[in-house]
Amino acid sequence: MLFLFISLFFASKLFIFSEDNNDQNRFDPNYKVSEVNIPKELNLAGEPVPIHKFNVMEGVDRELTINTYWQSQTLMMKKLANRWFPVIEPILRNNGIPDDFKFIALVESGLTNIVSPAGATGYWQLLEGTAKAYGLEVNNEVDERYSIEKSTEAACKYFKEAYKQFNNWTLVAASYNMGIGGVQKQLDKQKVGSYYDLFLNDETARYIYRIIAIKELFTHPKNYGYVLRKKDFYPPIPTKKITIDSGINDLAEFALNRGISYKILKYFNPWLRKNHLTNKSKKAYRLNIPERNTVIYDLDEFAEMTYTDTLKYAISKVLPKDSDSTQKDIVHVVKKGETIASIAKQYNVEENRIKVWNMLNNDSDLKPKQEIIIFRKK
C-alpha cells in the first residue's frame, strides 16, 4: 500500500511537471503547416501526367509534400541550379532532349559531385562501365563523370538510345533509374505500355514523381512558399577554355601561373582527380578557367545594399584593374518587348555578360520597368 501511494505521488508530480513544461514550450499559435495543392494538370517532357488516377495523384502528392517541406534541400537545389542549368540546358537542347530532363540531374545528385554506395558518380550518377560505354574517360587521374559538360553529353547519349527503345520520354526517364532492360522486362511481364500502370520497386515507383515534384517547385515556387530574391541564387561564373596537350607536373603551380588558386582550378575542373596530369598520350584536354577572380563580399556592407547596389558592388570586386578595361556602369530600365539580345545590341556588349551581371537566365526574367546594370568601357 505504501509503495502504491509513493508511486501515485511521483506520477502526479511528473504529470504536473510535464504539463508546466509543455505550457512553457508550446508552439507559436501563429505557426501553421498547410497541405500542398496538387495541380489539376501536369506534364513531363510534354507528356501528360494522368493525375485523375488516384495512385498517380497520391504519388505526386507524396513527393510534392516531402520536397516542399524539405526546405533546406530544395533551397540549395534552386541556388545551384541557377549556376549549372545554363550549362546543362543548351547541351540537352543541342541533343534534342526535352528541357525537363535537367531535373533528373537534381533528383540524382542535387547538382553536386557525389558518389553513391554503388559507385555511381557525378552530377548524373554514372557507373564506371556506363560512363566508358558512352565515351567518358575514367581512370586514376581523369574521371570525366565529374565534368558537368562531359557527363551531360554522356547522359544525352543514354536518353537517345532509350528513346529509340520506348518512343516515350517518361519511360526513358524511368529507365535512367532502372535501366532500359529492366523497364522493358516489366512492360512485357505486366502487359502494359505506360509507366503509370507499372508495378515497380519503391525507388523507381517514386522516381518519376520526384522529377515531377521538383519541376513543379521550380516552375511555380511561390505556390509552395518559396520566395527568393535574385541575389539569393548562386550566379553563373564566366569561364574561358584553354586547351592543353601535354602533362602537368604540378597543378597548383599551373593554377597560380594563370592567376587562380588550386582550389578554384579544381572547382571548375573536378574531373582532374590528382594534383598532376601525366597525359603520356598527348591527348588534348580543355580546362575551364574563370574569367575573373573570386568575389569577396563585405557582409556588413552587403546587408545594407539594394539589389542594384549589390550588383554594382559585386562586379566592382571582379572587374579587371588595367586601365584599358576601365568600366562605366549604366542602369538600364527595361521597356516592354525588350530582350536580352536587343539590350546587348543597344550597348554593344555580349548577351552572356548581361545575364551574369544581372543573374538572368533568359528573356522571361526581364520585366518592364526592371532595372538592370550594363558595364561598358569608358
Supply the DSSP symbol for 334: P
Q: What is the pLDDT, as a whole number, of residue 312?
A: 54
Same domain, 156 and 278: no
Report the alpha-carbon distance of residue 315 to residue 48 in Å, rounded.
Answer: 43
Same domain, yes or no, for 67 and 210?
Answer: yes
φ, ψ (nearest 5 deg) of residue 250: -140, 105
DSSP states of 17-42 = HHHHHHHHSPPPTT----PPPPPS--
Do residues 218 and 111 both lie within one domain? Answer: yes
122 and 262 inside one domain = no
Say yes or no: 262 and 327 in one domain. no
pLDDT per residue as tens digits for the range 120-131: 999 999 999 999
Residue 37 included in any domain: no
The answer, yes or no, to whether residue 260 has pLDDT greater than 60, is yes
Q: Computed from CA positions of residues 49, 79, 332, 237, in that sequence, does the dihedral angle turn out positive or negative?
A: negative
pLDDT confidence bin for 25, thresholds 50/70/90: low
Residue 159 counted as domain residue: yes
CA 83 to chain centre: 7
Opening angle at CA 154, ends 153 and 157, nearest 5? 90
Nearest of 315, 329, 311 to residue 231 by alpha carbon: 311
| CA–CA gap between residue 77 and residue 346 (Å, rounded) | 34
In a domain, 368, yes or no: yes
Cα(369)–Cα(190) distance, rounded to whole angstroms? Answer: 56
Q: Which grid cell is 47?
A: 507528356
pLDDT above 70 covers what percent of the chain?
80
- Listed residues 195, 228, 261: the one ending a domain: 228
- Strand 327-333, strand 371-377: pairing: antiparallel
Question: Strand runs (DSSP E) across the chain, as ranges?
Answer: 43-44, 47-48, 239-244, 285-290, 327-333, 371-377
Helix axes 71-94, 102-109, angle to 10 degrees: 140
Burial 295-312 (b: 16+ CB within 10 A, else e): eeeeeeeeeebeeeebbb
Whether the model clears a pTM of 0.75, i.e. scores above it, the answer is no
**Residue 105 and residue 205 in one domain:** yes
* pLDDT tens, position by position, 28-65: 666 677 888 889 999 999 999 999 999 999 999 999 99
Q: Which of 247, 269, 290 is the last residue of a domain?
A: 290
| Grid coordinates belonging to 96 | 534534342
- 86 and 211: one domain? yes
CA distances for 267 relative to 287, 294, 311, 368, angstroms: 11, 12, 23, 36
Based on the fold, state whether residues 315 and 280 are members of the same structural domain.
no
All three cell numbers of 199, joined, read 508495378
Question: What is the CATH number for 206?
Answer: 1.10.530.10
Selected residue with higher pLDDT from 314 and 72: 72
Q: Are 107 and 63 in contact (CB under 8 A)?
A: no
Residue range 156-206, pLDDT digits in tens = 999 999 999 999 999 999 999 999 999 999 999 999 999 999 999 999 999
Domain span at residue 349 reads 299-377
Cβ neighbours of residue 280 closer than 8 Å, sequence gap 6 or more: 247
Say whether both 144 and 66 belong to one domain. yes
Range scoring the smallest mean pLDDT among 98-107, 249-258, 367-376? 367-376
Beta bridge partner(s), residue 333? 371
DSSP 246: S
Quote the mean pLDDT of the chain: 84
> If we measure between CA atoms, which residue out of 372, 287, 361, 378 comes closest to residue 335?
372
- Pair (195, 116) in one structural domain: yes
Of the pLDDT bands very low, low, confident and very high (cuts 50, 70, 90), residue 324 is very low
Other residues' Cβ atoms within 10 Å of the Cβ of residue 64? 23
pLDDT in tens, 284-317: 999 999 875 444 444 444 444 444 554 555 555 4
Same domain (yes/no): 95, 133: yes
Q: How far is CA 97 from CA 46, 102, 160, 370, in A?
A: 12, 9, 8, 33
Instruction: Say if residue 185 is in the same domain as residue 323.
Output: no
